[in-house]
Amino acid sequence: MPSKREHPKEKSRLHPRNKHRERYDFKALISACPELSAFVKENVYGDESIDFFDPNAVKMLNKALLKHHYDINEWDIPQNYLCPPIPGRADYIHLMADLLASVNEGVIPTGTKVKCLDVGVGANCVYPVIGTKEYGWNFVGTDIDTIALDAAKKIIVSNQLEDHIELRHQEDPDDIINGSFAEDEFFDLTLCNPPFHSSLSEAKEGSMRKISNLKKGKAAEPVLNFGGQYNELWCKGGESRFIRLMIIQSKYFADSCLWFSTVVSKQSHLRDIYEELEHAGAKDVKTIPMGQGNKTSRIVAWTFLSNKERKKWSIDRWNKA
Protein backbone atom coordinates (compact mmCIF):
# COMPACT_ATOMS: atom_id res chain seq x y z
CA MET A 1 0.00 0.00 0.00
CA PRO A 2 1.36 3.47 -0.83
CA SER A 3 2.18 5.65 2.15
CA LYS A 4 -0.73 7.65 3.54
CA ARG A 5 -1.02 11.04 1.86
CA GLU A 6 -1.04 14.32 3.70
CA HIS A 7 -4.10 16.34 2.78
CA PRO A 8 -4.63 20.08 3.29
CA LYS A 9 -7.04 20.82 6.11
CA GLU A 10 -9.25 22.89 3.82
CA LYS A 11 -10.03 23.12 0.13
CA SER A 12 -8.90 26.72 -0.07
CA ARG A 13 -10.19 27.29 -3.60
CA LEU A 14 -13.76 26.93 -2.40
CA HIS A 15 -15.70 29.92 -1.09
CA PRO A 16 -15.09 30.71 2.63
CA ARG A 17 -18.78 30.08 3.44
CA ASN A 18 -18.88 26.80 1.54
CA LYS A 19 -19.72 23.95 3.93
CA HIS A 20 -17.57 21.57 1.88
CA ARG A 21 -14.15 23.17 2.36
CA GLU A 22 -13.02 20.39 4.70
CA ARG A 23 -12.49 16.79 3.60
CA TYR A 24 -15.58 14.59 3.62
CA ASP A 25 -16.39 13.39 7.13
CA PHE A 26 -17.68 9.95 6.21
CA LYS A 27 -18.62 9.06 9.78
CA ALA A 28 -20.92 12.08 9.98
CA LEU A 29 -22.24 11.47 6.47
CA ILE A 30 -23.01 7.82 7.21
CA SER A 31 -24.72 8.86 10.44
CA ALA A 32 -27.00 11.12 8.36
CA CYS A 33 -27.42 8.61 5.55
CA PRO A 34 -26.66 5.02 6.64
CA GLU A 35 -27.05 3.73 3.05
CA LEU A 36 -23.75 5.43 2.20
CA SER A 37 -21.80 2.95 4.35
CA ALA A 38 -22.03 0.25 1.68
CA PHE A 39 -20.01 2.44 -0.70
CA VAL A 40 -17.30 3.69 1.68
CA LYS A 41 -13.99 1.81 1.67
CA GLU A 42 -10.36 2.53 2.29
CA ASN A 43 -8.54 3.52 -0.89
CA VAL A 44 -4.95 2.58 -1.78
CA TYR A 45 -3.68 5.37 0.47
CA GLY A 46 -5.60 4.16 3.52
CA ASP A 47 -8.15 7.00 3.36
CA GLU A 48 -11.88 6.47 3.60
CA SER A 49 -13.45 7.23 0.24
CA ILE A 50 -15.91 6.04 -2.38
CA ASP A 51 -15.40 4.86 -5.94
CA PHE A 52 -16.06 8.04 -7.90
CA PHE A 53 -16.42 5.95 -11.05
CA ASP A 54 -19.47 4.22 -9.56
CA PRO A 55 -22.54 6.36 -10.31
CA ASN A 56 -24.52 4.76 -7.49
CA ALA A 57 -21.79 5.67 -5.01
CA VAL A 58 -21.64 9.25 -6.26
CA LYS A 59 -25.42 9.61 -6.06
CA MET A 60 -25.44 8.25 -2.50
CA LEU A 61 -22.65 10.65 -1.52
CA ASN A 62 -24.72 13.55 -2.87
CA LYS A 63 -27.74 12.33 -0.95
CA ALA A 64 -25.69 12.19 2.25
CA LEU A 65 -24.16 15.65 1.70
CA LEU A 66 -27.56 17.22 1.09
CA LYS A 67 -29.06 15.53 4.13
CA HIS A 68 -26.16 16.25 6.49
CA HIS A 69 -25.49 19.87 5.48
CA TYR A 70 -28.86 21.11 4.17
CA ASP A 71 -31.51 18.98 5.91
CA ILE A 72 -32.74 17.55 2.60
CA ASN A 73 -34.20 14.25 3.74
CA GLU A 74 -35.40 12.98 0.36
CA TRP A 75 -33.30 13.39 -2.78
CA ASP A 76 -33.01 11.20 -5.86
CA ILE A 77 -32.54 11.51 -9.62
CA PRO A 78 -33.61 9.18 -12.44
CA GLN A 79 -31.06 6.80 -13.91
CA ASN A 80 -28.74 8.39 -16.49
CA TYR A 81 -29.41 11.96 -15.32
CA LEU A 82 -26.63 14.33 -14.34
CA CYS A 83 -25.37 13.92 -10.77
CA PRO A 84 -23.65 17.23 -10.02
CA PRO A 85 -20.77 17.85 -7.60
CA ILE A 86 -22.40 19.50 -4.59
CA PRO A 87 -19.37 21.60 -3.46
CA GLY A 88 -19.09 23.34 -6.83
CA ARG A 89 -22.81 24.04 -7.00
CA ALA A 90 -22.69 25.53 -3.51
CA ASP A 91 -19.82 27.80 -4.57
CA TYR A 92 -21.94 29.33 -7.35
CA ILE A 93 -24.67 30.17 -4.84
CA HIS A 94 -22.25 31.79 -2.38
CA LEU A 95 -20.50 33.79 -5.09
CA MET A 96 -23.84 35.11 -6.29
CA ALA A 97 -24.76 36.04 -2.72
CA ASP A 98 -21.61 38.18 -2.66
CA LEU A 99 -22.62 39.76 -5.98
CA LEU A 100 -26.01 40.74 -4.58
CA ALA A 101 -24.29 42.09 -1.45
CA SER A 102 -22.13 44.32 -3.66
CA VAL A 103 -25.16 46.50 -4.43
CA ASN A 104 -26.49 46.32 -0.86
CA GLU A 105 -23.70 47.97 1.13
CA GLY A 106 -21.95 44.65 1.57
CA VAL A 107 -24.93 42.94 3.22
CA ILE A 108 -26.21 39.71 1.66
CA PRO A 109 -29.97 40.00 1.12
CA THR A 110 -31.75 36.97 2.57
CA GLY A 111 -35.26 35.62 2.79
CA THR A 112 -38.12 35.40 0.34
CA LYS A 113 -37.70 38.97 -0.90
CA VAL A 114 -34.89 37.59 -3.08
CA LYS A 115 -36.13 35.75 -6.16
CA CYS A 116 -33.85 33.72 -8.44
CA LEU A 117 -34.28 32.02 -11.80
CA ASP A 118 -32.46 28.72 -12.38
CA VAL A 119 -32.23 28.21 -16.15
CA GLY A 120 -32.07 24.45 -16.69
CA VAL A 121 -32.90 23.32 -13.18
CA GLY A 122 -32.46 19.66 -14.07
CA ALA A 123 -33.68 16.59 -12.21
CA ASN A 124 -31.33 17.29 -9.30
CA CYS A 125 -32.75 20.73 -8.36
CA VAL A 126 -29.49 21.46 -6.52
CA TYR A 127 -29.18 25.24 -7.00
CA PRO A 128 -32.68 26.02 -5.64
CA VAL A 129 -32.22 23.59 -2.74
CA ILE A 130 -28.91 25.10 -1.63
CA GLY A 131 -30.02 28.70 -2.25
CA THR A 132 -33.19 28.18 -0.24
CA LYS A 133 -31.45 26.42 2.63
CA GLU A 134 -28.47 28.77 2.85
CA TYR A 135 -30.17 32.14 2.30
CA GLY A 136 -33.94 31.58 2.34
CA TRP A 137 -34.25 32.74 -1.29
CA ASN A 138 -37.16 31.84 -3.54
CA PHE A 139 -36.54 30.16 -6.90
CA VAL A 140 -38.17 29.49 -10.23
CA GLY A 141 -36.57 26.57 -12.07
CA THR A 142 -37.09 26.05 -15.81
CA ASP A 143 -36.27 23.07 -18.02
CA ILE A 144 -37.19 21.59 -21.40
CA ASP A 145 -37.22 18.02 -20.00
CA THR A 146 -40.50 16.97 -18.37
CA ILE A 147 -38.91 13.88 -16.77
CA ALA A 148 -36.34 16.12 -15.08
CA LEU A 149 -39.08 18.46 -13.90
CA ASP A 150 -41.07 15.56 -12.45
CA ALA A 151 -37.99 14.40 -10.53
CA ALA A 152 -37.28 17.92 -9.28
CA LYS A 153 -40.91 18.27 -8.18
CA LYS A 154 -40.59 15.11 -6.06
CA ILE A 155 -37.58 16.61 -4.30
CA ILE A 156 -39.45 19.86 -3.66
CA VAL A 157 -42.65 18.24 -2.38
CA SER A 158 -40.96 15.58 -0.23
CA ASN A 159 -38.91 18.29 1.52
CA GLN A 160 -41.82 20.75 1.93
CA LEU A 161 -40.19 23.41 -0.26
CA GLU A 162 -43.26 24.25 -2.37
CA ASP A 163 -43.43 27.77 -0.91
CA HIS A 164 -39.84 28.45 -2.02
CA ILE A 165 -39.37 26.68 -5.37
CA GLU A 166 -41.59 26.79 -8.46
CA LEU A 167 -40.98 24.81 -11.68
CA ARG A 168 -41.82 25.83 -15.25
CA HIS A 169 -41.61 23.87 -18.50
CA GLN A 170 -39.85 25.43 -21.48
CA GLU A 171 -41.24 23.83 -24.64
CA ASP A 172 -38.77 25.38 -27.11
CA PRO A 173 -35.06 24.51 -26.56
CA ASP A 174 -34.11 27.92 -27.97
CA ASP A 175 -36.19 29.67 -25.30
CA ILE A 176 -33.52 30.16 -22.68
CA ILE A 177 -34.65 33.41 -21.06
CA ASN A 178 -37.70 33.92 -23.26
CA GLY A 179 -40.80 32.46 -21.63
CA SER A 180 -39.17 32.27 -18.19
CA PHE A 181 -40.52 35.57 -16.89
CA ALA A 182 -44.21 35.85 -16.12
CA GLU A 183 -45.88 39.19 -16.87
CA ASP A 184 -44.61 41.93 -14.53
CA GLU A 185 -42.26 39.44 -12.85
CA PHE A 186 -38.86 40.47 -11.50
CA PHE A 187 -35.80 38.37 -10.64
CA ASP A 188 -32.84 39.50 -8.58
CA LEU A 189 -30.61 36.88 -10.13
CA THR A 190 -30.49 34.22 -12.82
CA LEU A 191 -28.22 31.17 -12.67
CA CYS A 192 -27.32 28.66 -15.36
CA ASN A 193 -24.97 25.74 -15.92
CA PRO A 194 -25.26 25.37 -19.70
CA PRO A 195 -24.58 22.28 -21.82
CA PHE A 196 -20.85 22.15 -22.57
CA HIS A 197 -20.76 20.33 -25.90
CA SER A 198 -22.09 20.85 -29.41
CA SER A 199 -22.91 17.21 -30.21
CA LEU A 200 -23.49 13.85 -28.54
CA SER A 201 -20.22 12.46 -29.96
CA GLU A 202 -18.29 15.43 -28.56
CA ALA A 203 -19.93 14.88 -25.17
CA LYS A 204 -18.89 11.21 -25.18
CA GLU A 205 -15.33 12.14 -26.18
CA GLY A 206 -15.25 14.67 -23.34
CA SER A 207 -16.38 12.03 -20.85
CA MET A 208 -13.73 9.60 -22.07
CA ARG A 209 -10.98 12.24 -21.77
CA LYS A 210 -12.11 13.10 -18.25
CA ILE A 211 -12.09 9.46 -17.15
CA SER A 212 -8.76 8.81 -18.88
CA ASN A 213 -7.15 11.76 -17.13
CA LEU A 214 -8.49 10.66 -13.75
CA LYS A 215 -7.29 7.11 -14.30
CA LYS A 216 -3.94 8.35 -15.67
CA GLY A 217 -4.38 6.98 -19.13
CA LYS A 218 -6.01 3.65 -18.30
CA ALA A 219 -8.85 2.72 -20.63
CA ALA A 220 -12.31 3.01 -19.13
CA GLU A 221 -15.92 2.95 -20.19
CA PRO A 222 -18.00 6.08 -19.49
CA VAL A 223 -20.00 5.91 -16.28
CA LEU A 224 -23.26 7.56 -15.41
CA ASN A 225 -21.96 10.32 -13.18
CA PHE A 226 -20.07 11.59 -16.21
CA GLY A 227 -23.21 11.06 -18.28
CA GLY A 228 -26.49 12.87 -18.30
CA GLN A 229 -29.31 13.35 -20.73
CA TYR A 230 -28.46 14.95 -24.08
CA ASN A 231 -29.91 18.32 -23.12
CA GLU A 232 -27.76 18.39 -19.96
CA LEU A 233 -24.50 17.79 -21.87
CA TRP A 234 -24.87 19.14 -25.38
CA CYS A 235 -26.97 21.41 -27.55
CA LYS A 236 -26.77 22.83 -31.05
CA GLY A 237 -23.77 25.13 -31.19
CA GLY A 238 -22.58 24.08 -27.74
CA GLU A 239 -21.88 26.30 -24.76
CA SER A 240 -20.89 29.36 -26.78
CA ARG A 241 -24.11 29.53 -28.84
CA PHE A 242 -26.25 28.76 -25.80
CA ILE A 243 -24.77 31.62 -23.76
CA ARG A 244 -24.81 34.08 -26.65
CA LEU A 245 -28.48 33.28 -27.22
CA MET A 246 -29.10 33.78 -23.51
CA ILE A 247 -27.46 37.21 -23.68
CA ILE A 248 -29.55 38.25 -26.69
CA GLN A 249 -32.75 37.20 -24.94
CA SER A 250 -31.74 38.75 -21.62
CA LYS A 251 -31.76 42.21 -23.21
CA TYR A 252 -35.54 42.00 -23.58
CA PHE A 253 -35.77 41.66 -19.79
CA ALA A 254 -33.17 44.31 -19.01
CA ASP A 255 -35.37 46.12 -16.49
CA SER A 256 -36.77 42.93 -14.94
CA CYS A 257 -33.57 41.37 -13.58
CA LEU A 258 -30.73 42.75 -11.50
CA TRP A 259 -28.01 40.27 -12.48
CA PHE A 260 -27.99 37.60 -15.19
CA SER A 261 -25.29 34.95 -14.81
CA THR A 262 -23.96 31.68 -16.19
CA VAL A 263 -21.12 29.27 -15.72
CA VAL A 264 -18.61 29.39 -18.61
CA SER A 265 -16.70 26.13 -18.73
CA LYS A 266 -14.38 26.90 -21.65
CA GLN A 267 -12.14 29.96 -21.40
CA SER A 268 -11.88 30.08 -25.19
CA HIS A 269 -15.57 31.09 -25.33
CA LEU A 270 -15.07 34.26 -23.29
CA ARG A 271 -14.10 36.48 -26.22
CA ASP A 272 -17.33 35.78 -28.13
CA ILE A 273 -19.35 36.15 -24.92
CA TYR A 274 -17.81 39.55 -24.14
CA GLU A 275 -18.47 40.72 -27.69
CA GLU A 276 -22.13 39.64 -27.44
CA LEU A 277 -22.49 41.45 -24.09
CA GLU A 278 -21.03 44.64 -25.55
CA HIS A 279 -23.37 44.41 -28.53
CA ALA A 280 -26.34 43.85 -26.19
CA GLY A 281 -25.45 46.97 -24.21
CA ALA A 282 -24.66 45.44 -20.82
CA LYS A 283 -23.80 48.19 -18.32
CA ASP A 284 -21.51 46.01 -16.22
CA VAL A 285 -19.92 42.59 -16.67
CA LYS A 286 -18.26 40.52 -13.93
CA THR A 287 -16.04 37.48 -14.51
CA ILE A 288 -15.81 35.53 -11.27
CA PRO A 289 -13.32 32.63 -11.02
CA MET A 290 -14.42 29.31 -9.56
CA GLY A 291 -12.11 26.48 -8.59
CA GLN A 292 -12.61 23.00 -7.21
CA GLY A 293 -9.70 20.59 -7.01
CA ASN A 294 -7.68 20.91 -10.20
CA LYS A 295 -10.59 22.22 -12.23
CA THR A 296 -10.89 25.93 -12.96
CA SER A 297 -14.05 27.50 -14.30
CA ARG A 298 -15.72 30.87 -14.07
CA ILE A 299 -19.04 32.67 -13.81
CA VAL A 300 -19.89 35.54 -16.12
CA ALA A 301 -22.53 37.91 -14.73
CA TRP A 302 -24.00 40.96 -16.43
CA THR A 303 -26.53 43.69 -15.78
CA PHE A 304 -28.30 46.28 -17.89
CA LEU A 305 -28.87 48.56 -14.90
CA SER A 306 -26.69 51.52 -13.98
CA ASN A 307 -25.08 51.86 -10.55
CA LYS A 308 -27.84 54.23 -9.51
CA GLU A 309 -30.54 51.85 -10.73
CA ARG A 310 -28.93 48.93 -8.91
CA LYS A 311 -28.88 50.86 -5.67
CA LYS A 312 -32.54 51.77 -6.11
CA TRP A 313 -33.32 48.12 -6.84
CA SER A 314 -31.77 47.00 -3.53
CA ILE A 315 -33.71 49.64 -1.58
CA ASP A 316 -37.05 48.99 -3.27
CA ARG A 317 -36.92 45.18 -3.24
CA TRP A 318 -34.95 44.23 -0.15
CA ASN A 319 -34.90 47.12 2.30
CA LYS A 320 -38.31 48.75 2.28
CA ALA A 321 -40.25 48.21 5.49
Evaluate whether residue 1 is within a structural domain: no
Read off the pLDDT of residues 60-111 as tens digits, 9 standing for 90 and up: 999 999 999 999 999 999 998 989 999 999 999 999 999 999 999 999 999 9
> Is 25 a member of any domain?
no
Give me the number of domains the chain comprises.
1
Does residue 270 lie in a domain region? yes
Tell me the percentage of the chain whose pLDDT exceeds 70. Answer: 83
Domain-embedded: residue 261: yes
For 286, the 3-state DSSP assignment is strand
Asked whether residue 54 is domain-assigned, the answer is: no
Residue 252 counted as domain residue: yes
In this structure, is residue 153 part of a structural domain? yes
Domain membership of residue 44 (yes or no) is no
Domain with 276 in it = 79-319
Mean pLDDT of 187-192: 98
Domain containing residue 306: CATH number: 3.40.50.150
Residue ranges with strand state E in the chain:
41-42, 48-49, 115-119, 138-143, 165-169, 187-192, 257-264, 284-292, 295-303
Mean pLDDT, the chain, rounded, equals 87
With a CB cutoff of 8 Å and minimum separation 6, the contacts of 111 are 135, 136, 137
* Position 198 confidence tier, pLDDT thresholds 50, 70, 90: very low
